[in-house]
Amino acid sequence: MLSGKKLLLASGSPRRRELLSALDVDTEIVKLVDVDESYPADLSPAKVAEYVACKKRDAYDVTSLKNNEILVTADTVVVQDGKVLGKPHDADDAREMLKLLSGNTHQVVTGVTLSTNSKTVSFSTVTYVHFDTLTDSEINLYIGQYKPFDKAGAYGIQEWIGYIGIKGIEGCYYNVMGLPLHDLYKHLRDFE
């Protein structure tokens, strides 16, 4: 369905690289440009990831893309009680995030921007994640062993904490990993 297209993924995330490769589309990883991931304080938490994905796209000269190339940028945030949880700064920050998520349901929002040399489309996908109550020792073990400092909300669903702590999800599992493959494929298929 996507033959002839070449995806240029601008991401440092090994999970996004792995997920995108699963679509069996010609993919190249492009140099990740350092982007200020701040956002306006009055922006709806549900729009933050898409806003940052657009900022990442703006760091590239999309007019120089070849006709068959599509630049893919993405950002993922966790939203708990209207508060955006990005990547933790350190172990204490990660501990606080996991305590907020423990025993609660939160949203994982991934914003994706697709750009050719003449067109840009952005979208967001939301997944609801139901966490069981975590003990302090479980949180400390996870942070100490897995060092989740590169993950929004301080956890990876595909890691130990996901196995023992997540009771269920509503929506796309891959979205929680950082790339909503079903929605991405639909947008790519329809992208001309």
Which residues are identified as catalytic? 75
φ/ψ bin of 100: left (φ > 0), alpha (ψ from -120 to 50), beta (otherwise): alpha
**SS3 state at 100:** helix
Q: How far apart are CA 120 and CA 187, in angstroms?
A: 11
CB 125 within 8 A of CB 131: no
Q: How far apart are CA 162 and CA 168, in angstroms?
A: 10
φ/ψ bin of 2: left (φ > 0), alpha (ψ from -120 to 50), beta (otherwise): alpha
User: What sign does the CA torsion over 153, 157, 158, 159 have?
Assistant: positive
In the DSSP assignment, the letter for residue 63 is G
